[in-house]
Amino acid sequence: MENEYYPWGGEFTACSPNGCVAVVILNIDYTPIEKVAIYGPLKTENIGVEKIVANVISNPHIRYIVVCGDDIRGHRSGSSLIALNKNGIDEQHRIIDAPGAIPYIENLNDEAIERFQKQIEVVNLIGINNKNDIDKAIDDCIVKSPPSFGKPYIAIRITPEATILLDDKRALHSKIVMNYMGKIKKRGK
């Protein structure tokens, strides 16, 4: 069941499947209480954010994400996750107003992002490192005992379509060909 609920992999620990809180840990050594549904670190503002979104919307019981610790320098992954929840993405798939270096969401469709925005409320604890403060914020969420959001949403990873199809399976790549010795040249030249 866990595999079905958390299909995208990543560095996380799944705890209570019916828990309503996911915890994103930035740059601190912290282990949340076992009542949370899932917790783990976040490093990158693109692929890392995508994995979190895909994983949390696959479990409708999760209604809160607590983002705690010190944001990742340069990547600003925590702030980018929060920006995604608040603002969504633009036509270029850039997270609107995200402060990270390369905050692009490319492997999730619009429906998955919309679902993330509706299902999840973010508790912004960026800058908070104190264990007791974080524990309390998690408890406050749990006490609210929110209802499940409905059915799990299994986000399918979008894979780019191949633009060139070739019959020549020996080719190194669509743009180059190689002779029997290893001499490479551009295809068609």
Partner 1 sequence: MFSFAKEQEIFDISGIKIGGQPGLYPTVLVGGLFFKGEPDFDTGKKQLQNMLDISKKTGNPAVPDFFIRKEEYIEDITNFIESIVPKSHPFSIDIIEPSLKVKTLEYLDEKNLLSRAIYNSIHVGIKDEEREALRKHTPEMAIIVAFNPKDKSPDGKIEVLQNGANLTDAGLLDIAKNLGIKKILVDTAAMAPGDNSGASIAAIPVIKEEYGFPTGCAIHNVVEKSKWLDDFKSARNPVDASSNINIPLFGGDFAIFGSIANADIVFPIIAWQDILISEYTETYFGITPDDSHPRRKLF
Which one among 4, 74, 114, 130 touches partner 1, defined by CB under 8 A?
Answer: 74
Closest by Cα among 39, 20, 21 to 29: 39
**110-119 vs 47-57: helix crossing angle, rounded to 10:** 70
User: What is the Cα–Cα distance from 134 to 128, expressed in whole angstroms?
Assistant: 7
Instruction: Please tell me whether residue 184 binds partner 1 under the rule CB under 8 A.
Output: yes
**Between 144 and 173, CB nearer to partner 1:** 173
Closest by Cα among 157, 163, 78, 166 to 122: 78
Instruction: Please tell me whether residue 93 binds partner 1 under the rule CB under 8 A.
Output: yes
Instruction: Please tell me whether residue 127 binds partner 1 under the rule CB under 8 A.
Output: no
Closest by Cα among 90, 5, 10 to 50: 10
User: What is the Cα–Cα distance from 169 to 66, expressed in whole angstroms?
Assistant: 48
**Between 5 and 8, CB nearer to partner 1:** 8
**Between 9 and 127, CB nearer to partner 1:** 9
Instruction: Please tell me whether residue 101 binds partner 1 under the rule CB under 8 A.
Output: yes
Instruction: Please tell me whether residue 163 binds partner 1 under the rule CB under 8 A.
Output: yes
Angle at 6 between CA 78 and CA 41, to 5 degrees: 30
Determine the interface stretch with partner 1 among 109-117, 131-139, 140-148, 172-180 (rule: CB under 8 A). 172-180
Which one among 47, 121, 135, 146 touches partner 1, defined by CB under 8 A?
Answer: 47
User: What is the Cα–Cα distance from 85 to 46, expressed in whole angstroms?
Assistant: 13
H/E run at residue 111 = helix 110-119
Length of the chain, in residues: 189
- Sites for partner 1 among residues 53-72 (CB under 8 A): none
**Between 136 and 175, CB nearer to partner 1:** 175
**Min dist. Cβ of residue 177 to partner 1 (A):** 10
CA 146 to mean position of chain CA atoms:
22
- Sites for partner 1 among residues 8-27 (CB under 8 A): 9, 11
Summarize as ranges the residues that interact with partner 1 (CB under 8 A). Answer: 9, 11, 46-47, 73-75, 92-94, 100-102, 104, 106, 160, 163-164, 172-176, 178, 181-186, 189
